[in-house]
Structure 1
Amino acid sequence: MKLPVLPTEKSFASPLHHPRVATVIGRWLGIAVTICFLTGLFSHFQQVTPGWLHIPSRPSSLYRVTQGLHVLTGTVSVPLLLAKLWTVYPKLFAKLPWPPSRKALGMVFERLSIAVLVAAMALELFIGFLNTLQWYPWPFPFKETHYALAWIIVGALLVHLAVKLPLITANWRRTPADRTPVPTTTDSLPPAITGLSRRGLFRTVAGAGALIGITSVGQSVPAFGPVAVLAPRKPNVGPQGLPVNRTAKDAGVSAVDADWRVTVMGPQQLSYSLDQLRELPQNRSALPIACVEGWSQGAHWEGIRIRDLLKLCGAPEGSRLRVVSMEKGGFYATSELPAQFAEDPLTLLALRLNGSELALDHGFPARIIAPNRPGVLQTKWVHRLEVIT
């Protein structure tokens, strides 16, 4: 019986597998991945801030923009990655030189680096997408894994760029062949076997990315809300016009006793009932809730400025604040407000949301709201504030 002949790299005659096509789509993917990485790094440092880094409290909506971009570019990277893989998969059938040589070892190293890059990117995008759905069907911690994979991708990508730099450079600029709708046979370009030109492929990939972006970005850009059919969240749907990620039931806060008090632990210890908090000077802040899952929604908050509470307890200037929730367990039952956030006049111990008392799912009787902060750090069901000098 005659064995089937395995394909070779030359068996794929479509001009859509030309290095120029791979370079252009790779350039788009590189831009998306770079933005996604930098905005993800900003989000990570918001939650795990190194001692050398100072994160500003203004612009107040900065995190809303950066995290919206993070999820948007991660989502758009999916069709770009698929298109990139499709243009270069014939390279998998390129034969290694025999007997083994330095060139063969270079090809093996290149393929290993590509395998790491593709596997890490696929896993990164997959778990990132499931995070937007708040579904975690795995035993490992999402945040730490997502962060580690990002650095693996950066390392593998740098290796890949170093190896492919001559080819990328040679195909970076447009050539006369790129202006031809369906290229003809040349020494460097195989004959066309498809009705889709390279320009047509570029338009198709760009259109697919744009369509996915427009139909998902509405969870953070209200103007696109009506067409956000792929967005996992509608940002204006929920109690008091604001979504809830973690309900009071999930947090183990079933009710708040009438004798609830919030304690401020500083040079002078203070304790307030809810009625006493309402008697303190009230202030208003128009700030968004911006969550790591990518959705955000602006809201109007009323409450007591944190900096006023710090003054009342005699806290020295530059003090930080640890916020403790009534939440039972969970990664974010406590949070820390650095000095620049604690002293910002927009940062409140909020008692009201959009003109009415906080709903229990939004943190009744009191929660933190601060500018330029992830939603997971806007601690709900506050019962203790600890001054850190």
Structure 2
Amino acid sequence: MRVGPLREGTFRSALHEPRTAVVIGRLLGAALLTCFVTGLLSHVLQQPPDWLRDHLPSRPVAGYRVTQGLHVISGIAAIPLLGAKLWTVYPKLFEWPPARSVAHALERLGIALLVAAMLLELFTGLLNNVQWYPWPFPFRQTHFWLGWLATGGLLLHVSAKAPLIGAHWRRVRPGSAQRRAFLGTVGAAVGLVTVTTAGQTVRWLRPLTLFAPRRPDVGPQGLPINRTAAQAGATTPPPGWRLTVTGPRPYQLSLAELTAMEQSESELPIACVEGWSAGARWSGVRLRDLLDRAGAPASARVRVTSFEAAGPYAVSEMSASYARDPLTLLALRVNGEVLPPDHGYPARIIAPNRPGVLQTKWVSRLEVI
């Protein structure tokens, strides 16, 4: 017989029942599926498969700002929902005997893997928001595959429990005051964590940004940064810095020569994987003008190289859809002022619908490929 704190009769709350679990579960499922789909979009934009890399769209301009903002908002909202869901069903996690049959054992093993994947996915995602990585494994790849495990496990679990979920999907009798109070508390918790963090990307919630790791109006020239020039080893350009453009007609340009070229302006956001974004007015030379001068074909991709000392995104590639977009600039100024070192002086890439990590700073070379 089971004894101790998990013995029969320990879980006395009337809320450990299917109706409460279903109500919480459908909200949690919506948050997790939103998080999964927007996370896939982010992954594709950062690391597109070969068959897709030349077909990524540069519009809508704020597409990545919206999808990645939703990704982080839904992920944070899922944390209190997952806690409430686990509290509702945890007596079932301690059923005795642990396995009544092979099928029952496999079902419980699947639930254990599902819960573990969800907890690890949300935990690592939350720490990524504050750029703290206390683990030895790479975050992005691990987060990607955990997303598949968690979502696949969720769909299998819903399939297995479909009859029970269907029986309690609609309210068949007035809910108890205790259940209403519990669901109201969960809703208040979700609302609180959402409105106090979403302001890092939702402009009209900015005054309520109490717990977000970034404020989108704080930083050099009113823009946040993730990585300073000092951290990147790029506080000053190399002696005699010149922009090198390779192609059928290669050439080099000094900063003075770049500044003397026709300048264009673009209103574009910086949108980062951590969920924050901020709009700015950028000015510089259209990338397509630089490519045309080098004789680049209209369909050519471009490899952009930074002079930073080291970093995982010191080199990025752009498909023609980005490189030829009239809003894509080799930016020399932001909000009417010369770029500060932390924003990429002397020149950086800025393009629409593109993750911030790929908006390469401290550019030294453009290579037609």
| Range class of TM-score, shorter chain | over 0.9
- 1:43 alignment partner in structure 2: 42
Equivalent residues of 1:9, 1:94 under 8 A apart: no
Q: Deviations over 1:128-170 (max 9, x none)?
A: 1111111111111111111111111122212212221111111
Higher mean displacement: 245-254 or 268-277:
245-254
Q: Partners of 1:7 and 1:58 in 2: how far apart?
A: 55
Q: Which 5+ residue runs of structure 2 have no aligned equivalent? A: none
What amino acid is aligned across from residue 142 of structure 2 in structure 1?
A: T
TM value normalised by structure 1: 0.91
Equivalent residues of 2:288, 2:325 under 8 A apart: yes
Identity %: 57
- 1:21 alignment partner in structure 2: 20
Q: Partners of 1:203 and 1:6 in 2: how far apart?
A: 29
Equivalent residues of 1:68, 1:295 under 8 A apart: yes
Q: Partners of 1:88 and 1:205 in 2: how far apart?
A: 15
- 1:188 alignment partner in structure 2: none
Q: Deviations over 1:264-317 (max 9, x none)?
A: 101100110000001111000000000001110000000010111111111111
Equivalent residues of 2:237, 2:307 under 8 A apart: no
What amino acid is aligned across from residue 310 of structure 1 in structure 2?
A: L
Which one of the candidate residues 327, 334, 342 is aligned to 2:308? 327
TM value normalised by structure 2: 0.96
1:46-195 equivalence runs, <5 A:
46-53=45-52, 54-96=55-97, 104-176=101-173, 179-182=174-177
What amino acid is aligned across from residue 326 of structure 1 in structure 2?
A: F
- 1:256 alignment partner in structure 2: 237
Q: Partners of 1:158 and 1:39 in 2: how far apart?
A: 17
Q: Indicate the RMSD between aligned Cα atoms, in angstroms.
A: 1.6
1:224 equivalent to 2:205? Answer yes
Q: Partners of 2:124 and 2:12 in 1: how far apart?
A: 35
Q: Which 5+ residue runs of structure 1 have no aligned equivalent? A: 183-196
Higher mean displacement: 104-113 or 366-375:
104-113
Q: Deviations over 1:232-289 (max 9, x none)?
A: 1111101011011111111111312562100110110011000000111100000000
Instruction: Report the CA distance between 1:52 and its aligned residue.
Output: 2.9
Q: Quickly say closer, same or farther: Cα 1:136–1:93, change in 2 above 3 A.
A: closer
1:379 equivalent to 2:360? Answer yes
When Rg is computed on C-alpha atoms for both structures, the one with the higher figure is 1
SS of the aligned residue for 1:386 comes to: strand
SS of the aligned residue for 2:128 comes to: helix
Equivalent residues of 1:96, 1:107 under 8 A apart: no
Q: Partners of 1:170 and 1:265 in 2: how far apart?
A: 65
Q: Quickly say closer, same or farther: Cα 1:20–1:9, change in 2 above 3 A.
A: farther
SS of the aligned residue for 2:273 comes to: coil
Q: Partners of 2:337 and 2:59 in 1: how far apart?
A: 26
Q: Partners of 1:301 and 1:92 in 2: how far apart?
A: 55
Q: Quickly say closer, same or farther: Cα 1:166–1:255, change in 2 above 3 A.
A: same
- 2:269 alignment partner in structure 1: 288
SS of the aligned residue for 2:161 comes to: helix
Q: Partners of 2:153 and 2:9 in 1: how far apart?
A: 27
| Equivalent residue pairs, number | 366
- 1:354 alignment partner in structure 2: 335
SS of the aligned residue for 1:207 comes to: helix
Q: Partners of 1:12 and 1:276 in 2: how far apart?
A: 75
Instruction: Report the CA distance between 1:51 and its aligned residue.
Output: 2.4
Instruction: Report the CA distance between 1:198 and its aligned residue.
Output: 1.1
